[in-house]
Amino acid sequence: MTDAIAGAAIAATAATWPATPLGAHPDKPGDRAAFGFTIGTRIPGRHGRTGVIHTPHGDIATPAFVPVATQATMKGVLPEQMRDLGAQCLLANAFHLFERPGEDVLDEAGGLGRFMNWGGPTYTDSGGFQVLSLGAGFKKTLAMDVQGMKSDDVIAKGKERLAFVDEDGVTFKSPLNGAKKRFSAEISMGIQHKIGADIMFAFDELTTLMNTRQYQEKSVERTFRWAKRCVAEHERLTQTRLGKPYQALFGVVQGANYEDLRHLAAREIASLDFDGFGIGGAIEKRILGDTCRWICDELPENKPRHVLGIAAIDDIFAAVENGGDTFDCVAPAREARNGAIYTRTGRWNIKRAALKHDFRPLDPTCDCYTCTHYTRAYLNHLVHTREMTASTLATIHNERFFVKLLGDIRDAIDGGYFPEFRDETLARFYGGSDRVAPGTHANSGAADSQ
């Protein structure tokens, strides 16, 4: 699965927009046969593989990075630019789109893709991450050092608890206006059906690693009960929303950092009629690869697996090797806006004074629009003068870095040299003088806002 093949698929998808999506027929429910997954090359002795996810709006060559367009947009970057840099699909945030402009607006517009002028495949998450962050206040960091810290009343320092979980769902205060609102399995499915993404996720309870073992056990079972309700409501809505393309539903596997709970949760979720699976929850970095393997031991091979919310380079390799097919994270865009630049030899900050007179590209080996047209000195100037163009150019580069990294991983798996490529890439990225060392823990919750 080469980067060129993925690019051709993207170009073909763009050329056919806005044609009727596959499997959409007037006065009929969406045809489930329009969604599927084809396995390509397997990594010997591992769960990792290449493949193709087939959706009503086009194919996704996997493994693939899924850029996060939280509010139905990439901040500072047009959908056309995302296509040009090789993005095959985008993920939007159901919680934020529910808050504004509201799912009815997207439904009236013809769905997420038409609303944002993106002709390719789209994802939405369920809102579970945002509910957790409102409840515990940790927002962007779920995986953390939890030694000696176990509590079922987890709350970040200085934060007010804004969300409360019960058996039926979650009650929360809107972060926009403080209004009392409610999410449940059925509500989340209704919102996501109206948003209209090709792939959506079942509503789950996302815990922190600080919760006790007893609470994690209860949460896994609650998530399973919610998953059954999501499947039932998804089937009902699919039959009632005539003329729409089929939307795939992925079940989310929880279980924190407990091997037996991850196996149990995966078996339970795999027993339901899902189209694919999400590997979710807070995951300790030291066992991220193991956690993916525990889960994929239990999942059927013929369905895709999405790892929610990771972008550390070593984490991506560990997750790919152990069965991850697609990955989303807000980090490339968010860090770009703060001046952090990803290159083959490490991550560094464009704000550094030494770059004021550096007229090289951000990365001489990169083929993105930014690197082929602008210099480090120019971006350094834009950042210091707080020009909006700085965010646009840096985001284009960082998103291209991750899109191309996954494309190169596909080539390495298909070519039979994945171990060598992994070792060479990690040694170069984390071994340079400009490197930023891997963090101690991963951030593996569902995607939050950019």
Query: How is residue 2 written in tokens?
Result: 């080469």
Between CA 212 and CA 188 the distance in angstroms is 27
Between CA 274 and CA 219 the distance in angstroms is 20
What is the widest separation between alpha-carbon atoms in the chain? 63
Between CA 41 and CA 403 the distance in angstroms is 19
Between CA 44 and CA 171 the distance in angstroms is 46
Phi, psi of 213 (to 5 degrees): -55, -45
CA 60, 63, 67: angle at the middle one, nearest 5?
70
Beta strands in 237-290 (DSSP E): 248-253, 276-279
Q: Are 192 and 126 in contact (CB under 8 A)?
A: yes
Among 59, 81, 66, which Cα is nearest to 1's? 59
What is the layout of strands, in order, in the sheet containing 36-42? 36-42, 49-55, 58-62
C-alpha atoms less than 13 angstroms from C-alpha of 105 in its C-beta half-sphere: 11
Between CA 65 and CA 68 the distance in angstroms is 10
Instruction: Write out the catalytic residue numbers.
Output: 125, 328
Residue that has been written with the tokens 């009343």 in this structure: 153
Q: Annotated binding site, which residues?
A: 125-129, 204, 254, 281, 366, 368, 371, 397
Between CA 245 and CA 184 the distance in angstroms is 24
Q: Annotated binding site for substrate, which residues?
A: 125-129, 204, 254, 281
Residue that has been written with the tokens 């464009």 in this structure: 350
Between CA 432 and CA 163 the distance in angstroms is 43
Q: Annotated binding site for Zn(2+), which residues?
A: 366, 368, 371, 397
Q: At what angle do helices 418-431 and 388-415 cross, to 10 degrees?
A: 150
Between CA 30 and CA 10 the distance in angstroms is 23
Segment (H or E) for 171: strand 169-173
Residue that has been written with the tokens 């059925």 in this structure: 186
Beta strands in 309-403 (DSSP E): 326-329, 340-343, 346-349
Query: How is residue 127 written in tokens?
Result: 């809102």
